[in-house]
A and B are shown apart, each in its own frame.
Chain A
Amino acid sequence: MSLLEVEELRTGYGALPVLQGISFAVEEGTTAVVFGLNGAGKTTTINCLAGLLPVWGGEVRFDGQRLSGRSAKAIVEAGLSLAPEGRRVWAGLSVLKNLELGAWSRKDRRGTEETMQQVFGYFPRLEERKDQLAGTLSGGEQQMLAIGRAIMSRPRLLMIDEASLGLSPKLAQTVFEVVSKINDNGTTVIIVEQNVGVLPYADQALIMEKGTLTYDGSGSELERSGELRRTYLGEAVAS
């Protein structure tokens, strides 16, 4: 059984449908990367999985447990967390408070403290700036904070939307490396990305187009197939 199973998932905004029924599965312990042009429905998919958007149809199962239709709160308690598009850190709260609130769904104080140390291990910059207001962090630091906050709930599945958006190539690489470390420590990862620099870290790659999935395969196969070039550059698939 896969950790995450999505079947014929449909959702949208108001009366406007966006996801036309997409199906995929993610295995425990792997990293899946979702590619796709702007407006393809990546954020819609991942927000729907996190409980921010209602499920119109289809089913989501997490570790065999049905998640579709449950609240964002129930979903994070079940072990699935999201670093959302646009980071959405609490600008008027300190870095430390942002991280503490990330653990809202947990009751174990000592475990929370351990996770905090782990986050500081991944992102030493956050520890140096732990008393600074999140709104005064640089964009890259805010991204680290958003990821750190998502880790604080100690998820089994961590989802990151636009991990490298607005980051320098070097910092993007650093973020990818940290994500790969998080993955090595046993957390399953789904990452939405436009930067192909993430491919070496991807066990699985998904490509979305106009609310549907057009590719679902291994990351290394994708690198060879030319499917990415077709999606992003509109070139014919080289055979």
Chain B
Amino acid sequence: MSAEVLALDVVAPAVSGFIQGSVYGLLGLGLVLLYKSNRIFNFAQAEFGGVAAFVWIFFDTGRGVLPNLPTPVAVLLGILAAVLVALLTERLVVRPLFNAPKITVVVATAGVLLLLIAVEGFLYGGEAGSFPAIFSGDAVNSGAIRVTNQGVAIVVVLAVLSILAALFFSRSPFGTAILAVSQEATAARLVGISVERISALTWGIAGFLAGVAGILLAGTIGLAAPGSLTGLALVPAFTAAVFGGVTSLPGALVGGIVIGIIESEAQALIPKENLPGAGKVALFVALLLVLLVRPAGLLGKET
């Protein structure tokens, strides 16, 4: 095997891992945001994205009584649906449990996840179908390395959203208020910040991030089945968040990309005969290592 071929064997999965990892990063960002503001882990985070993906194809294909809408409108409706589901979760599940032990709230979000999967199954049917990619065609296709336009779109979306998130949290009053509530809620109430409204805002943003991630990921994997996004992306997104230290927003993004690359390299380099599902095993090992060696995360500081 020549050095050139070897390099390609390593580079090609790195490229696809980077793209996949960007989606994990978006989901991880939402997880970190909710962890910072409510000190909980949201089991339904990836499935908020699943809801977005289903609503998108329902409108894109004009399923049942629904009108057949242009793709951009359908995508927008999908994202809106994810925001709505996140806001409802906040209002109906999280807020009534404001003074309950955190573990109760975490279990309740697992309940939300099960409910969402059930509703998806009811509306979509049990059998697996397929999601189209929003952007078709390839940006680069040189034999060994292939980058789809969908892949480019994912990386661009991640870059734009991270810049917007950075500006939002460092410059805007509401971004600062979210951080203030997460650090000292009592002080936030004392200066007149409505902790309830900030909580709703935080969930709305998390729903938006999940919606964007869900539609991009669904279009990349193609597979459409109730709960498939949770199965595919929840654990990697969680690992991404832990990589970054669970409270660091940039850490979640970096963590997502690292996780995506590790998963994809393991998948490509370890032969299937030796270790089936090597990608997920590598994720698990990476997660364990981080927890053992740097429990505070790679970046290891609250940002």
Contacts and interface: CB of A to CB of B under 8 A. Distances in A.
A169 B183 CA distance: 30
A164 B211 CA distance: 50
Nearest to B184: A88
Contacts of A89: 184, 187
Given A92-B302, A92-B303, A76 B180 contact: no
Contacts, number: 68
A93 B180 contact: yes
A101 B191 contact: yes
Contacts of A101: 173, 176-177, 180, 188, 191, 193
Contacts of B190: 50, 52, 72, 76, 81-82, 84, 88, 150
A50 B173 CA distance: 23
A149 interface: yes
Contacts of A100: 173, 176
Given A72-B189, A84-B190, A153-B191, A92 B176 contact: no
Interface string A74-85: 001100011010
B61 interface: no
Contacts of A97: 176
Nearest to A152: B191
B136 interface: no
B179 interface: yes
Interface in B43-62: none
A52 B186 contact: yes
Contact of A88 (B173, B186, B192): B186
Contacts of B188: 101
Contacts of B176: 93, 97, 100-101
B104 interface: no
A90 B179 contact: yes
Main secondary structure of the interface of B (DSSP, over half): helix
Contacts of B192: 72-73, 76-77, 104-105, 153
A92 B302 CA distance: 7
B194 interface: yes
A93 B171 CA distance: 12
A89 B173 CA distance: 17
Interface string A25-69: 000000000000000000000000011100000000000000000
A102 interface: yes
Interface in B183-231: 183-184, 186-194
A68 to B, nearest CB: 17
Interface string A86-99: 00111111000100
Contacts of A150: 190
B186 A73 contact: no
Contacts of B179: 90, 92-93
Interface of A: 50-52, 72-73, 76-77, 81-82, 84, 88-93, 97, 100-105, 149-150, 152-153
Interface of B: 173, 176-177, 179-180, 183-184, 186-194, 302-303
Given A104-B192, A153-B192, 13 more contacts: A50-B190, A51-B189, A72-B192, A82-B190, A90-B179, A91-B184, A92-B303, A93-B176, A93-B179, A101-B173, A101-B177, A102-B191, A152-B191
22 contacts: A51-B189, A72-B190, A73-B193, A76-B191, A76-B192, A84-B187, A88-B184, A89-B187, A90-B179, A91-B184, A92-B302, A93-B179, A93-B183, A97-B176, A101-B176, A101-B191, A102-B191, A104-B177, A104-B191, A149-B187, A150-B190, A153-B191
